[in-house]
A and B are shown apart, each in its own frame.
Chain A
């Protein structure tokens, strides 16, 4: 059985207290977020670990990992740039911005730069329609992103 990093174990145990003891499986999404944050992605071994923790079958974990767009089976770059693809941001120029970003970091959609630093992906509506184009870099939100602002953002990422 896969060993989890001790702090992950502690974090997951704390999360489990948020749900009734007979409903451990309910912690699924929170636990998968914690796993992904600590391990970079959700591997087969971690799926088994989560299943044991939540007292369910690995298939129950696997079906969630494949259903929810935020979970990934393979690692991404150190900085995952997700650009809003949806209508209001497109009207505000997100698709042009995306082309510029791809040029700046030198990679295509859903690909990672050879140095492992950047991955660029589309994401559906981020609920910042009035301040598009918007994007997230890991957990951070950026709105009204121009080409200049994007250059600055990238330059600040070490």
Chain B
């Protein structure tokens, strides 16, 4: 393994002189994947995506080909495609790069995905704060329309697609796909019960709907161009392709790094690509997949048995950057946002910050999450302001333990995992606040 990037999606945007205009994208070979796709049958593209092993880059890491295969194509209702561009998991900033620097990569991915699934109308749900990003996308769609990459009878294929941009308005919960759909329908973003409201069957306006992340969609033209089997050779089995990792916090060179999944370790990412922990200090804690992922303790050994039966014994530096390895050590790769906290970091304060975020963002639909997220934030506010009382650490933990599994959507887990894991791994830091 080596600390090198493998740039497939970010290759163009990082070139000097590259702009987000169509001529830049075309000069770099853009829309070749679409031309190839339109010469194929939709089911052939779906088969290639299935063979590619592509997993969703939004957070859950769900198999993209499988997601597409669940779409109800016999209902007689239109199928919709929604691009989830509501990037708002703290620590994650990759989709923003694509939207601002290379919007045509997303549009080409959407047209390919839409064609493969018989979609006639697609939406990009972009977070409200990306006002400029929204304008960039609108301009890019117009450019693409003028060259007939979007619109009626695309490149003479007989296939037509409209893409509309829909802005959110500052609510994190819209990143959850059924919350997003409710929001796109003009309502409060209250996530829906699953079952029965799986988007593949009862999605937007109760029609079959595919919701894919920005980065996921950008992979589709690559898969079409090289074929699913060839794509699957990038990365490692079950963790194919590249991933844009976002690193922030106490590192020398925070930023986004596109790496081959499973072919680089957390140590190579942080000490190699990111130039190490800031100030030459030691890492104490790492949040590996966006703020809702369980925190890793850096002096811990992670031991166990892999799926193939071989044993592993890893320090944090040895953990491969992919979906399965991060899950094996008890956390999740989530949205790819890595936040590094060094030995000087005030961990209760960091957790208090995260808890405030979730208290602010709970949609309020389910009682355990609405009340629990607020209680956790209040307890942490008290503890980090010198007003902790005896038993506060256990109190905090008991709230966190009573939320997961009792809510409609995974926000319940998202708000309690950080609290559970910080207390489990760093109990002393919290206990010493108690008087």
Q: Tell me which residues across on chain B come within 8 A of A126, comparing CB atoms.
A: 129
Contact between chains at B186 and A60 (CB < 8 Å): yes
Determine the distance from Cα of A56 to Cα of B188 in the docked complex, in whole angstroms: 14
Interface centre among B93, B128, B363 (most CB of A within 10 A): B93
Give B286 Cβ to nearest chain A Cβ, in Å. Answer: 13
Determine the distance from Cα of A88 to Cα of B170 in the docked complex, in whole angstroms: 18
Determine the distance from Cα of A116 to Cα of B95 in the docked complex, in whole angstroms: 35
Determine the distance from Cα of A20 to Cα of B206 in the docked complex, in whole angstroms: 13
Contact between chains at B184 and A139 (CB < 8 Å): no
Contact between chains at A32 and B246 (CB < 8 Å): no
Contact between chains at B132 and A123 (CB < 8 Å): no
Sorting the interface of chain B by its residue count into under 10, 10 to 19, 20 to 34 or 35 or more gives 35 or more
Contact between chains at A127 and B128 (CB < 8 Å): no
Contact between chains at B186 and A88 (CB < 8 Å): no
Instruction: Report A22-40 residues with CB < 8 Å from chain B CB.
Output: 23, 25-30, 32-33
Determine the distance from Cα of A111 to Cα of B70 in the docked complex, in whole angstroms: 50
Contact between chains at B131 and A127 (CB < 8 Å): no
B interface residue numbers (CB < 8 A to A)? 87-93, 95-96, 127-132, 164, 166-172, 183-189, 205, 246-250, 254-256, 291, 337, 339, 341, 345, 350, 353-354, 356-357, 360-361, 363
- Whether A20 touches B131, Cβ cut-off 8 Å, given contacts A88-B248, A91-B250, A91-B345, is no
Contact of B354 among A63, A68, A87, A131 (CB under 8 A): A87
Determine the distance from Cα of A67 to Cα of B199 in the docked complex, in whole angstroms: 23
Determine the distance from Cα of A92 to Cα of B278 in the docked complex, in whole angstroms: 11
Q: Tell me which residues across on chain A come within 8 A of B168, comparing CB atoms.
A: 29, 68
Determine the distance from Cα of A70 to Cα of B167 in the docked complex, in whole angstroms: 11
Contact between chains at A23 and B205 (CB < 8 Å): yes
Query: Which of chain A's residues has its CB closest to B287's CB?
Result: A87
Contact between chains at A70 and B129 (CB < 8 Å): yes
**Count of residues in A whose CB is under 8 Å from the partner chain:** 43
- Whether A30 touches B167, Cβ cut-off 8 Å, given contacts A20-B205, A130-B256, is yes
- Whether A127 touches B169, Cβ cut-off 8 Å, given contacts A63-B188, A87-B350, is no
Contact of B184 among A20, A26, A127 (CB under 8 A): A26
Query: Which of chain A's residues has its CB closest to B189's CB?
Result: A67
Q: Is residue A125 contacting chain B, with contact meaning CB distance below 8 A?
A: yes
Q: Tell me which residues across on chain B come within 8 A of A124, comparing CB atoms.
A: 88, 90, 170, 172, 357, 360-361
Q: Tell me which residues across on chain A come within 8 A of B170, comparing CB atoms.
A: 68-70, 123-124
Q: Tell me which residues across on chain B come within 8 A of A125, comparing CB atoms.
A: 88-91, 172, 291, 357
Q: Is residue A129 contacting chain B, with contact meaning CB distance below 8 A?
A: yes
Contact between chains at A86 and B353 (CB < 8 Å): yes
